[in-house]
């Protein structure tokens, strides 16, 4: 395979990530293949956060002094960048949250509690992260909802014929991941949403894995809600975003009570603020929001089409190389239907043993059920080892992964 087809200058990109140059053991350089869990941050993101801390650190919205006005402007400017990144019609439709998990819980506890009643059907999928399962399970127990699941086929795709059958149950909500964090499967989000809307359902897209790696346009998708996190797209931890359709957000009750989410408070009543502030109670993650905006700037400079194209190349190369190793079982679809995620097992070894030996050689992969236990149950396994790639991942690191797996085989021979 020609590994020089991409227009991405990966060597230059890697210069922006100092952590990639460190040794994790004496004489053993880091090979970071765990970006699906958390991506690394470029120096540009860190420097943007430092500028706010060193020059404009203050609380936002309520202050009228210079620092407060500068911090507020930077905070809201970042929101505008994030909105434009996903092509939201308005920045007011982007709500800052702590992460994808909180975004989904916000929808469940605000929209779900207000709009779902006993017997209503919620459709999810068998490949969901726990963050898009447990909030609906909690609400289902509280309100006696009916949860149904789109099956996953043996090759790691959603069974859309089964989905069409489930839609005859007239669901009120269809919530699904656009890209699986285990299988890498890129689901046909637009088709799923069109079918859901035709059945009268509201849609929620878990974009934790898709937004960092693919061009995502909420208007083209016609998504009602989209949830994603900064730390998976070169940004800081502790901040994420929820996009919502304007009329839905305006009709939803507040998620939490406190400062900044109100217009007026009396001893026995309150009047909520307008969106997005209605859902942003208390002092937010101001510095992290600026980092989030800087991460969007960085990805925009590269271009999301280029990001997607490069990752398709590197995952295809990874699948090709892993197929050479006797005893390796890879989960999920072929390269053209998946993102830069490869979950695998080796012989009859536990994923933790694989990961531990790889770490001895500086190779950081994930091991476990990846917060998707039902999906692993579906395939009759308890865990997998997962290698995941991003714009700073080099083809040579795939070769190091393969060499590391052979070391695992030798050790347990």
List residues with catalytic annotation.
371
**Element spanning 90, H or E:** none
Checking DSSP bridges between strand 341-346 and strand 328-331, what pairing results, if any? antiparallel
CB 47 within 8 A of CB 234: no
Residue 293's SS3 state is helix
Q: What number of other Cβ atoms are within 10 A of residue 99's Cβ?
A: 21
User: Dihedrals φ, ψ of 109, to 5°?
Assistant: -80, -25
Among the listed residues 261, 229, 221, 280, the one whose alpha carbon sits nearest the alpha carbon of residue 245: 221
Pairing verdict, β 384-388 and 341-346: antiparallel
The Cα-based distances of 371 to 129, 220, 315, 383 in angstroms read 6, 29, 22, 10
End-to-end CA distance of the chain: give it in Å, rounded: 30
Q: How many helices (H) and strands (E) does the chain have?
A: 15, 17
Separation between Cα atoms, residue 177 and residue 209, nearest integer Å: 8
3-state secondary structure 263-275: EEEECCEEEECCC
Q: How many residues does the chain have?
A: 413
Contact at 8 Å (CB) between 189 and 215? no
257 closest CA partner among 286, 282, 238, 275: 282
Residue 27 carries which DSSP code? T
283, two tokens: 């002092």
Cα 413 to Cα 411: distance, rounded to the nearest angstrom? 6
**Distance, CA of 153 to CA of 67 (rounded, Å):** 55
Query: How far, CA to CA in Å, does 375 sit from each of 59, 368, 371, 384, 388?
Result: 43, 12, 9, 11, 18
Give the C-alpha separation, 157 to 226, whole Å. 21
């Amino acid at each position: 395979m020609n590994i020089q087809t991409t227009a991405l200058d990966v060597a230059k990109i890697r210069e922006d990530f100092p952590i990639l140059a460190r040794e994790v053991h004496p004489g053993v350089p880091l090979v970071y293949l765990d970006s699906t869990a958390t991506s690394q941050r470029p120096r540009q993101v860190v420097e943007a956060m430092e500028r706010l801390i060193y020059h404009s650190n203050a609380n936002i919205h309520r202050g009228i002094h210079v620092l407060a006005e500068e911090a507020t402007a930077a905070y809201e400017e970042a929101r505008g960048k994030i909105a434009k990144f996903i092509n939201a019609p308005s920045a007011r439709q982007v709500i800052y949250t702590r992460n994808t998990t909180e975004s989904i819980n916000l929808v469940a506890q605000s929209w779900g509690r207000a709009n779902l009643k006993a017997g209503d059907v919620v459709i999810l999928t068998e490949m969901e992260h726990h963050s898009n399962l447990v909030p609906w399970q909690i609400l289902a127990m509280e309100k006696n909802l009916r949860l149904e699941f789109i099956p996953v086929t043996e090759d790691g795709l959603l069974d859309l014929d089964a989905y069409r059958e489930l839609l005859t149950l007239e669901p009120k909500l269809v919530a699904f991941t656009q890209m699986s964090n285990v299988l890498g499967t890129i689901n046909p989000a637009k088709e799923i949403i069109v079918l859901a809307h035709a059945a009268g359902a509201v849609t929620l897209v878990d974009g934790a894995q898709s937004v960092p790696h693919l061009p995502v346009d909420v208007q083209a998708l016609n998504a009602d809600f989209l949830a994603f996190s900064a730390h998976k797209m070169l940004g800081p931890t502790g901040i994420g975003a929820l996009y919502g359709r304007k009329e839905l957000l305006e009709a939803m009750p507040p998620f939490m009570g406190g400062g900044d989410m109100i217009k007026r408070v009396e001893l026995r009543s309150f009047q909520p603020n307008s969106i997005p502030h209605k859902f942003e109670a208390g002092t937010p993650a101001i510095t992290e929001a600026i980092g989030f905006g800087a991460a969007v700037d960085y990805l925009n400079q590269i271009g999301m089409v280029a990001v997607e194209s490069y990752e398709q190349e590197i995952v295809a190369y990874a699948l090709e190389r892993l197929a050479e190793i006797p005893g390796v079982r890879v989960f999920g679809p072929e390269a053209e239907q998946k993102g830069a995620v490869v979950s695998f097992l080796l012989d009859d070894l536990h994923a933790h043993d694989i990961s531990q030996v790889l770490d001895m050689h500086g190779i950081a992969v994930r091991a476990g059920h990846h917060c998707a236990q039902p999906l692993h149950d579906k395939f009759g396994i308890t865990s997998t080892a997962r290698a995941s790639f991003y714009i700073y991942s080099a083809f040579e690191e795939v070769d190091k992964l393969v060499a590391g797996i052979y070391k695992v085989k030798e050790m347990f021979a």
